Amino acid sequence: MAVFGILAAALGVVGLIAPDALLSLMGFKPTPDSGRADGDHTLVFLTASSMAAVNMGVYYILASLADWKPFFRWTVPFRLLTCTVFTLAVIGGRAPSGFLGVGLWEGVGALVTGVALRYEGRGARRPA
Protein backbone atom coordinates (compact mmCIF):
# COMPACT_ATOMS: atom_id res chain seq x y z
CA MET A 1 0.00 0.00 0.00
CA ALA A 2 2.80 2.39 0.88
CA VAL A 3 4.57 1.73 -2.43
CA PHE A 4 1.39 2.41 -4.39
CA GLY A 5 0.83 5.57 -2.36
CA ILE A 6 4.33 6.84 -3.00
CA LEU A 7 4.08 6.11 -6.72
CA ALA A 8 0.63 7.70 -7.03
CA ALA A 9 1.75 10.83 -5.19
CA ALA A 10 4.98 11.04 -7.19
CA LEU A 11 3.20 10.68 -10.53
CA GLY A 12 0.67 13.25 -9.38
CA VAL A 13 3.49 15.68 -8.67
CA VAL A 14 4.96 14.95 -12.12
CA GLY A 15 1.58 15.77 -13.66
CA LEU A 16 1.42 19.05 -11.77
CA ILE A 17 4.99 20.09 -12.58
CA ALA A 18 5.57 18.56 -16.03
CA PRO A 19 2.21 17.61 -17.57
CA ASP A 20 3.72 16.76 -20.97
CA ALA A 21 6.03 14.20 -19.32
CA LEU A 22 3.05 12.51 -17.69
CA LEU A 23 1.10 12.53 -20.94
CA SER A 24 4.05 10.83 -22.65
CA LEU A 25 4.25 8.19 -19.90
CA MET A 26 0.58 7.36 -20.49
CA GLY A 27 1.02 6.98 -24.24
CA PHE A 28 -0.43 10.33 -25.29
CA LYS A 29 1.37 12.65 -27.68
CA PRO A 30 1.82 15.99 -25.93
CA THR A 31 0.60 19.06 -27.81
CA PRO A 32 2.57 22.29 -27.50
CA ASP A 33 0.57 25.09 -25.87
CA SER A 34 0.66 27.01 -29.15
CA GLY A 35 -0.97 24.04 -30.90
CA ARG A 36 -3.91 23.75 -28.50
CA ALA A 37 -7.29 24.64 -29.89
CA ASP A 38 -9.61 27.02 -28.10
CA GLY A 39 -11.58 25.01 -25.58
CA ASP A 40 -8.86 22.34 -25.19
CA HIS A 41 -9.09 21.48 -21.51
CA THR A 42 -6.44 18.76 -21.47
CA LEU A 43 -4.19 20.60 -19.03
CA VAL A 44 -7.08 21.49 -16.74
CA PHE A 45 -8.15 17.85 -16.63
CA LEU A 46 -4.57 16.72 -16.12
CA THR A 47 -4.12 19.19 -13.25
CA ALA A 48 -7.29 17.91 -11.55
CA SER A 49 -6.31 14.27 -12.09
CA SER A 50 -2.77 14.87 -10.87
CA MET A 51 -3.98 16.60 -7.72
CA ALA A 52 -6.35 13.69 -7.11
CA ALA A 53 -3.39 11.31 -7.53
CA VAL A 54 -1.37 13.27 -4.96
CA ASN A 55 -4.28 13.14 -2.52
CA MET A 56 -4.92 9.45 -3.12
CA GLY A 57 -1.23 8.70 -2.73
CA VAL A 58 -1.20 10.43 0.64
CA TYR A 59 -4.33 8.49 1.69
CA TYR A 60 -2.61 5.23 0.82
CA ILE A 61 0.57 6.19 2.68
CA LEU A 62 -1.35 7.22 5.80
CA ALA A 63 -3.52 4.09 5.69
CA SER A 64 -0.36 2.02 5.37
CA LEU A 65 1.29 3.73 8.32
CA ALA A 66 -1.86 3.11 10.39
CA ASP A 67 -2.15 -0.48 9.07
CA TRP A 68 -5.81 0.31 8.33
CA LYS A 69 -7.08 -3.04 7.00
CA PRO A 70 -10.64 -1.89 6.19
CA PHE A 71 -9.20 0.72 3.81
CA PHE A 72 -7.04 -1.96 2.18
CA ARG A 73 -10.12 -4.17 1.68
CA TRP A 74 -12.13 -1.31 0.18
CA THR A 75 -9.42 -0.64 -2.39
CA VAL A 76 -9.64 -4.11 -3.93
CA PRO A 77 -13.06 -3.86 -5.65
CA PHE A 78 -12.56 -0.21 -6.58
CA ARG A 79 -9.16 -0.85 -8.13
CA LEU A 80 -10.68 -3.75 -10.08
CA LEU A 81 -13.40 -1.37 -11.27
CA THR A 82 -10.74 1.14 -12.32
CA CYS A 83 -8.89 -1.62 -14.16
CA THR A 84 -12.07 -2.53 -16.01
CA VAL A 85 -12.94 1.04 -16.99
CA PHE A 86 -9.43 1.90 -18.19
CA THR A 87 -9.07 -1.37 -20.10
CA LEU A 88 -12.44 -0.85 -21.78
CA ALA A 89 -11.39 2.71 -22.68
CA VAL A 90 -8.45 1.26 -24.63
CA ILE A 91 -10.51 -1.52 -26.21
CA GLY A 92 -13.23 0.99 -27.15
CA GLY A 93 -10.75 3.36 -28.77
CA ARG A 94 -11.23 6.16 -26.21
CA ALA A 95 -7.62 5.91 -24.99
CA PRO A 96 -4.30 4.91 -26.60
CA SER A 97 -2.85 1.48 -25.98
CA GLY A 98 -0.26 2.94 -23.62
CA PHE A 99 -3.11 3.70 -21.24
CA LEU A 100 -3.59 -0.05 -20.81
CA GLY A 101 -0.64 0.06 -18.41
CA VAL A 102 -2.73 2.16 -16.02
CA GLY A 103 -5.49 -0.45 -16.07
CA LEU A 104 -3.04 -3.29 -15.59
CA TRP A 105 -1.34 -1.46 -12.71
CA GLU A 106 -4.71 -1.11 -10.98
CA GLY A 107 -5.70 -4.73 -11.64
CA VAL A 108 -2.41 -6.19 -10.47
CA GLY A 109 -2.43 -3.89 -7.43
CA ALA A 110 -5.93 -5.07 -6.51
CA LEU A 111 -4.98 -8.73 -6.88
CA VAL A 112 -1.77 -8.36 -4.86
CA THR A 113 -3.65 -6.50 -2.13
CA GLY A 114 -6.40 -9.12 -2.06
CA VAL A 115 -3.92 -11.99 -1.87
CA ALA A 116 -1.93 -10.25 0.89
CA LEU A 117 -5.08 -9.63 2.92
CA ARG A 118 -6.15 -13.25 2.54
CA TYR A 119 -2.68 -14.49 3.48
CA GLU A 120 -2.55 -12.27 6.56
CA GLY A 121 -6.09 -13.31 7.51
CA ARG A 122 -5.17 -16.98 7.40
CA GLY A 123 -2.06 -16.37 9.48
CA ALA A 124 -4.10 -14.60 12.14
CA ARG A 125 -6.46 -17.61 12.48
CA ARG A 126 -3.70 -20.17 12.95
CA PRO A 127 -3.08 -21.22 16.57
CA ALA A 128 0.27 -20.08 17.93
Q: Contact, 39 vs 45, CB < 8 A?
A: no
Q: Single out the residue of 88, 90, 109, 106 nearest to residue 98, CA to CA.
A: 90
Report pLDDT digits (tens) over 62-113. Answer: 999 999 999 999 999 999 999 999 999 999 999 888 789 889 989 999 999 9
| pTM exceeds cut of 0.85 | no
The predicted structure's pLDDT at residue 30: 81
List, in order, residues 6 or more apart from 5 with CB less than 8 Å away: 56, 57, 58, 59, 60, 61, 62, 63, 64
Report pLDDT digits (tens) over 42-61. Answer: 888 899 999 999 999 999 99
Domain boundaries, the chain: 1-66, 68-128
- Please give the Cα distance from 102 to 6 (Å, whole number): 16
- Strand spans (E) along the chain: none
The predicted structure's pLDDT at residue 42: 82
